[in-house]
Amino acid sequence: MIEVEDSITIARPIGEVFTFVADQTNAPRWQEGLGEVRRVTDGPPGVGTKHVVVRKFMGRKLELTNEYVHYEPNTKITFSGASGPSRFEATYLTDTTADGTRVTCRMQMEQKGLFKLGDPLVAASLRREFAVNLQNLEVLLETRAD
């Protein structure tokens, strides 16, 4: 089982940060390797919201569908999905700090068969990706006009 977590504090109000992150169609603006995200369910984000995601990861193009399984405004979003032999669950947590909003990203991934042998490489790649993506999110949100 692969488990990765990273956090950053963004000097913006929690409502603004949560709303931006909760709309996965914004993700290509701050997540490297993410080519496209399409919402395939109607209405505002919430439990049951589904997205089709096209991304490059470790040199491979992946297309997958994820679904929100937990949605608590200004607090927590969890979504799960699968691609080939890999299943994952990702969570975004937000909380207010003296300096703005702390965003924590967590991912658990389970790979099957021979793909499990690559777990250490996948985990290292995800850690690097999380750090870069959170920095991108911070720059994007802190430089937006009020």
Q: What is the CATH number of the domain that holds 32?
A: 3.30.530.20
* pLDDT score for 144: 72
Strands (E), 14-99: 34-39, 50-57, 60-72, 76-83, 86-97
State the sign of the Cα–Cα–Cα–Cα dihedral 17, 18, 24, 30.
positive
**How far are the Cα atoms of 37, 44, 51 from residue 41, in angstroms, in the given order?**
12, 9, 8
Do 17 and 94 form a contact (C-beta atoms < 8 A)? yes
Do 68 and 51 form a contact (C-beta atoms < 8 A)? no
| Consecutive H or E run containing 6 | strand 2-10
* pLDDT score for 58: 61
111, two tokens: 């790979």
Q: Which domain covers residue 44, as residue numbers?
A: 2-142
Do 75 and 94 form a contact (C-beta atoms < 8 A)? yes
* pLDDT score for 23: 93
How many structural domains compose the chain?
1
* pLDDT score for 79: 95
pLDDT tens figures, 29-53: 999 888 899 999 998 899 999 999 9
Low-confidence ranges of the chain (pLDDT < 50): none
End-to-end Cα separation, the chain, in angstroms: 41
* pLDDT score for 22: 94
For residue 21, with 0-12 CB atoms within 10 Å meaning exposed, 13-18 middle and 19 or more buried, which class applies?
Answer: buried
